[in-house]
A and B are shown apart, each in its own frame.
Chain A
Amino acid sequence: MVTETATRTMTYQQAINEALQIAMREDPTVVLLGEDIAGGAMVDHLVNDDAWGGPMGVTKGLVQEFGRDRVLDTPITEAGFIGAAVGAAATGLRPVAELMFVDFFGCCMDQIFDQGAKLRYMFGGKAKCPVTIRTQIGAGVSAAGQHSGCHYSVFAHMPGIKCIVPSTPADAKGLLLSAIRDDDLVMFFENKVLYGTKGDVPEGDEGIPLGVADIKRVGDDVTIVAISRMVQQALAAADTLAAEGIEAEVIDPRTLSPLDEETILSSVAKTHRLLVVDEDNPRCSAATDIAAMVADKGFDTLDAPIKRVTAPHTPVPFSPPLEQFYVPSPDRIVDAVREIV
């Protein structure tokens, strides 16, 4: 018998904060590093003030509970503090580093992909790298080209890195708990447009297993695999489609690596149609990867070409009208479904 877990309504941002708090309470080796995640370090009149808690306030309050030894403000040195996190992970801590925007990954890619991701392989399994890197993705707040990309497909491409793309507050909490408890390098992509969205979040410390997709809406006529914030866009599109008699099944993969192929394939076997919605750029992307996987393993179940709705192959524009055009909208999803149903 399944016991009903009590839930409360909270935001995506609060859910992440709660997961960090639970992880730090249960495991003293969990430490946080990042730019302004506490705020006020080394500044006399600010040192006891909760000045920041990160640029979006996600880590707010944690320095007060856990102290500056476990919530570390770092200089603006991605190569330095990501490298420090990887090294600390290899030597016994369980760090959670915050890369403020994913767009900055170029500054610390050696530490992530050539060090952290390969440690376990290159030491024959004798070393491990239990580091979690939280980072912001997503367009929609006029943060311009250098603070608005998604780029998770770059990380999903690389072996040794687990990639998490939560779309709801509950998923954010459960998946972050599992990420921190995982013994490998995990990239945790937080969509900045979702921070204020609310949802029911279970109490307690239960994690959500990595590599298990979630069917966010059940339908028989078309499968929509949607990533991160695109889940919300796909659900809005599904409501419009339902009014036309088309029932869409919306699947949230939740983790891109590992990918829950089975849930996607069995849904397509039922609906015979697949649309992948991805805010990332289209070339060599998660959307392309999922489409290719289904074309290969689910070919005989398809009744229509696999469609993708993605951002264009350009950086994110600053102009608000252009940015609005850039992000896949429910209307574009509806149009794409109409082409194949």
Chain B
Amino acid sequence: MPTIVTMPKWGLTMTSGTITGWSREEGDPVTEGVPLLTVETEKAVDDVEAPASGVLRKIVAAVGSEVPVMGAVAVITAPGEDLSDEDVQALVATTSEATAAASGAAPRVAREGRQAARDASGRVNASPAARKRAGELGIDLATVEATGPGGRITSEDVERAAVEVAASAAAPRTEVFELADGTKIAALLAGPADATETIVFLHGLGGSQSTWASVLGHFAETYRVAAVDLPGHGASDKPSPASTDYSISGIAAKLGEFLEKLELAPSILIGHSLGGATALQLALDRPKLVRALVLVDSAALGLEINDELLDRIESAPSRDEARRLLELFFEDRRFVLERGINDMHAARNALGADDAVKAIAASAFTRRGQNLVLVDRLGELEVPLLVIWGELDRVIPSRHAVAAVTALPTAWLEIMEGVGHVPQVEAAPAFAEIVNRWLLSIPGP
């Protein structure tokens, strides 16, 4: 059976990719899992592996062409399989039709939309069915383009407008919220507008919301998601340590204020490493803002912290340091990519970032271990708790996870085998499934 190689979707915001190179030519044998081509997106360049072994029968998209996500780029035939040019074309055509269909179907009777007609009193010309649908869907008729005869808005026009509103609300976008002290907090928001629950994602020390890129899409189908850049990180403000409280409780207070601004509380909090400690602190300080808590390789659940992390953070933020940091984080070295090193290096060198990260680290950790250990207070939690840990985490040992669920026996524990400090990147699909399954098992809001 032939296999169609398609443009992958890396992260929530990717809509297309440009092909920068093919490592095989038509007619060459290919092996499943071996890089076949390189693709450049807005943010990164990466390899796409062959999805099957066989022969590279046809390259559909040449170097330099931009292909939408899920669009066909090549066809691989099984060893010994014979496929005519017509069959190749037909295969590719079905893929492009499917891609086009997924991007929105046209109305049956194609007619240009235009501004709806109004009578002398300003009443919009809309059919009875359109008025009823507009009421049901909460659509303002004044904003709807008319395709009906005489500039009349039809029920289909209203439905189309509702889809557009939902799509624009659901489209991933970065928004900035200003806190009372003037600190601006950036967050990537996505998910259906009519979703009833929100998940807030909190990254670790020196990271950014991009750490969740591989899993956000899974959750954004059902939930509203907000991946936050903590103060001193990513696109959020990085005030001087002299003027701001960079302790975990200080960051938790800012996060609480952010959640109130977002008007989406109580939210499900998923925190990684230092973000986990922040989430836990907030759940203890402001229980009304939190509906459920997921701690991933989290700080504040035990004393130990690898000195090497502190060495890296305390060093000047060079490119080599960035590489060593990633090597410490990931068990699987394939995740230590040039792109990741470049991102980390750039992030550490952003104005104010290094001072902020060093200040946070100094407040949270010393060579004797973590300053904040909340494991004895887990019993105070009023919300369900899930603890996820990479079995081979070299930054914070997985026995902290065991200590946490020992202290709070109602908590759920998942140890992910063979994974290091960042399971949401190293084992993204399994991570998403664990969280999704757990979210379905806990009581509703």
Contact = CB atoms under 8 A, between A and B. Distances in A.
Nearest to B131: A300
A109 interface: no
B149 A303 contact: no
A304 B127 contact: yes
B252 to A, nearest CB: 51
Interface size class of B (residues with CB under 8 A): 10 to 19
Contact of A304 (B110, B131, B152): B152
A302 B128 contact: yes
Contact of B108 (A245, A301, A302, A339): A245
Given A272-B154, A303-B154, A340-B149, A221 B109 contact: yes
Given A304-B148, A304-B152, A272 B129 contact: yes
B109 A245 contact: yes
A79 interface: no
B109 A246 contact: yes
Given A300-B132, A304-B149, A272 B108 contact: no
Contact of B128 (A220, A300, A340, A341): A300
Contacts of B127: 272, 302-304
B314 interface: no
A70 to B, nearest CB: 55
Contacts of A272: 127, 129, 154-156
Interface string A269-294: 00010000000000000000000000
A303 B148 contact: yes
A300 B108 contact: no
B359 interface: no
B189 interface: no
A299 interface: yes
A335 B242 CA distance: 78
Interface string A329-341: 0000000000111
A239 B109 CA distance: 16
A305 to B, nearest CB: 9
Contacts of B396: none
A287 to B, nearest CB: 20
Nearest to A220: B108
A246 B109 CA distance: 7
Interface string A285-324: 0000000000000011111100000000000000000000
B129 A301 contact: yes
> Which one of B110, B127, B131, B148 has the greatest number of beta carbons of chain A within 10 Å?
B127
15 contacts: A220-B108, A245-B108, A272-B154, A300-B129, A300-B131, A300-B132, A301-B132, A303-B127, A303-B128, A303-B129, A303-B155, A303-B156, A304-B152, A341-B109, A341-B149
Given A272-B127, A340-B149, 10 more contacts: A220-B108, A221-B108, A245-B110, A272-B156, A299-B128, A300-B132, A301-B129, A302-B129, A303-B128, A303-B129
